[in-house]
Amino acid sequence: MFEGLKQDINAVKERDPAAPSSLQILLIYSGLHAIMWHRPAYWLWNHGHRFLARAISQIVRNRTGVEIHPAAKIGRGVLIDHGMGVVIGETAEVGDGCTIYQGVTLGGTGKESGKRHPTLGKNVTVGCGAKVLGPFSVGDGAKIAAHAVVLSEIPEYATAVGVPARVVRQYGRRLEQLDQVHIPDPVSQEFCRLQMENDRLQMEINELHKFHEGKEH
């Protein structure tokens, strides 16, 4: 138990340049607190005390801003940096040495049953605001860019960016030239869809007006 806690504290010290002493990390780092309390909640969940496990996870969420389902598997030396808004789903697995930044979701798409959430290999980095959604694997050493939306498997030591995410680098080599100008903008795409829907509805309204005017004459 204490050896695992030491690994988790060392992960903060090694990867967070702003980290102070081990004592301060233990006392004030919310991401560490979320992982610390997840360990007993995970044990309780797997030993049939599921209500108590869920109660602990909800209390920890309210105190830290990090929501980890008590059934999720979290490895050693995992760093949840800043932490606020992180959500890790029931069947998610996070390998040893992973780094997860604020606003990350390891979730499902709502289309699966059973295994619904992603599996992160060892030493994966998931940037702030990224969403990894579905029951697939992210390979060891992979990097997910900030605000990327990952919907399919990412190979080991690859870098994935964009919405939806695509691999642009693997083993340090660029796989494609990233177009910084024509990256799809999901907000603009949604606006265009709504505009088209509005135009379609307007045409139907005009047709109804013509129909009623014809009946009156």
Q: How does pLDDT run across 66-84, given as a tens digit for each residue?
A: 999 999 999 999 999 988 9
Q: pTM for the whole thing?
A: 0.76
Taking each helix axis from N to C terminus, what angle separates 2-15 and 30-46, rounded to the nearest 10 degrees? 150
Query: CB burial class (10 A; 0-12, 13-18, 19+) of residue 155?
Result: middle
- pLDDT digits over 6-45, tens only? 888 888 888 888 888 888 888 889 999 999 999 999 999 9
Mean local confidence (pLDDT), 126-149: 95
- Asked if 150 and 139 count as a contact pair (C-beta separation under 8 A), the reply is no
Q: Bridge-partner residues for 167, per DSSP?
A: 160
Q: Supply the mean pLDDT for the chain.
A: 87
